[in-house]
Amino acid sequence: MFDYLIVGAGFAGCVLAERLAAVEGKKVLIIDKRNHIAGNAYDFYDEAGILIHKYGPHIFHTNSPDVFNYLSKFTAWRNYQHKVLAHTHGQYVPIPINLNTINSLYGMNLNSSEVSDFFSSLKEEVPQVKTSEDVVVKAVGRELYEMFFKGYTKKQWDLDPSELDASVASRVPTRTNKDDRYFTDTYQAMPLYGYTKMFEKMLSHPNIKIMLNTGYHEIIDEINFRRMIFTGPVDEYFDFCYGKLPYRSIDFKFETLDQKTYQRTGTINYPNDYDFTRITEFKYLTGQKHKKTTVVYEFPKSDGDPYYPIPRPENNELYKRYQALAAQSETIFVGRLATYKYYNMDQVVAQALSVFKKIKQGNDLNLNRGSVINISQDNE
């Protein structure tokens, strides 16, 4: 008899498994239909011996000392501040848009005050901000919107920014200083030995049992357990009774090159050229020394593993129907897929820790009624 069956061995499932076993002494079975733990953060050494992220680059950043300190129980860290360039108009310029971006693009030498005035001269008045296009043109105008956002968004989402919720573009700030870091969070670091090693340590408690290559439908009638925690797609749990929730997926194309480095920084975005959105070179992220290098190209697509919930009003309404079913269920739903939200890694950890606190307090009967679902979203 297990106290908890946890479906999904990503951040949400593993944090809850560790807390329930280590703090509450519960017996936990965690399962995953993939052949590995760590969810989309899974990393491994490729044939060349280079540490890569199977499901695209995962860069950890957070403003939460609680989240950072919790994960520090399971890993040492390598300080890393991610920098991204965008290729536009024949130049490689920093993104998010900052003072250096503008001076490079326009051949100017503005200061912070002057670039604020420059943005003001470009931006458009938007009576009511509803879409991602509204967000960008109100902040920096249509010319920069065309350079950096419109094409990238179309590739990423197969939708024009005018068709996407404002929350998508709101994740990317505009700066008037020379700060060319992609994130400005207090804590920015990478697990020193990789994400998978961190997850292995998290799940090393003797009260935790792991089954891989296992869907929950396969064992639901074979395993005795008192409570289920589900971190998979909420529509799948309810057998798609209202139809499938729309997601975007990605096709990752890896390439190992017989050279030390390939590009100037960790990630380069291609908003207007090619079918892929960006190229990431892993050695920048991991700090690994190697005579070769591995890069990954990202090609967004409509089918495949669900990665990005598509934030449109009709999709949110469909999710609310599933959320209503979840509210009547004794199963606890946690994580990106189970709550149909595009959370950063630290936000999923924060959500899982919040759920555990409710369970520990014996206040877990209302978990599916929104009490821990709305985790604040930082820029990514």
* Tokens coding 152: 């990238």
- Which of 228, 193, 190 minimizes the C-alpha distance to 8? 228
pLDDT of residue 167: 85
**Cβ atoms 57, 282 nearer than 8 A:** yes
Neighbours of 79 (CB within 10 A): 10
pLDDT digits over 50-94, tens only? 999 999 999 999 999 999 999 999 999 999 999 999 999 999 999
pLDDT of residue 367: 66
Considering all CA atoms of the chain, what is the largest pairwise distance in Å, rounded to the nearest integer?
69
Burial (CB count within 10 angstroms: exposed 0-12, middle 13-18, buried 19+), residue 372: buried
**Cβ atoms 194, 43 nearer than 8 A:** yes
Q: What are phi and psi of 267, to 5 degrees?
A: -135, 140
Which pLDDT band, with edges at 50, 70 and 90, does 369 fall under? Answer: low
Burial (CB count within 10 angstroms: exposed 0-12, middle 13-18, buried 19+), residue 133: buried
- Which of 101, 166, 155 minimizes the C-alpha distance to 272? 155
pLDDT digits over 117-156, tens only? 999 999 999 999 999 999 999 999 999 999 999 999 999 9
Q: What is the mean pLDDT of residues 347-360?
A: 96
pLDDT digits over 322-343, tens only? 999 999 999 999 999 999 998 9
Amino acid found at 131? T
Q: What are phi and psi of 212, to 5 degrees?
A: -105, 175
Burial (CB count within 10 angstroms: exposed 0-12, middle 13-18, buried 19+), residue 152: buried
Superfamily for the 2-37+203-245+310-369 domain: NAD(P)-binding Rossmann-like Domain (3.40.50.720)
pLDDT of residue 375: 45
* Tokens coding 224: 């005795």
* Cα 294 from chain centroid (whole Å): 21
SS (H, E, C) the chain: CEEEEEECCCHHHHHHHHHHHHCCCCCEEEECCCCCCCHHHCEEECCCCCEEECCCCCCEEECCHHHHHHHCCCCCEEECCCEEEEEECCEEEEECCCHHHHHHHHCCCCCHHHHHHHHHHHCCCCCCCCEHHHHHHHHHHHHHHHHHHHHHHHHHHCCCHHHCEHHHHHCCCCCCCCCCECCCCCEEEEECCCHHHHHHHHCCCCCEEEECCCCHHHHCCCCCEEEEEECCCHHHHCCCCCCCCCEEEEEEEEEEECCCCCCCCCEEECCCCCCCCEEEEHHHHHCCCCCCEEEEEEEEECCCCCCEECCCHHHHHHHHHHHHHHHCCCCEECCHHHHCCCCCHHHHHHHHHHHHHHHHCCCCCCHHHCCCCCCCCCCC
For the chain, the average pLDDT equals: 94
378 pLDDT above the threshold of 60: no
- Which of 224, 83, 91, 172 minimizes the C-alpha distance to 379? 172
Least confident of 127-141, 305-319, 361-375: 361-375
pLDDT of residue 374: 44
Question: Domains of the chain: which residue ranges?
Answer: 2-37+203-245+310-369, 111-170
| Angstrom distance (rounded) from CA 271 to CA 153 | 8
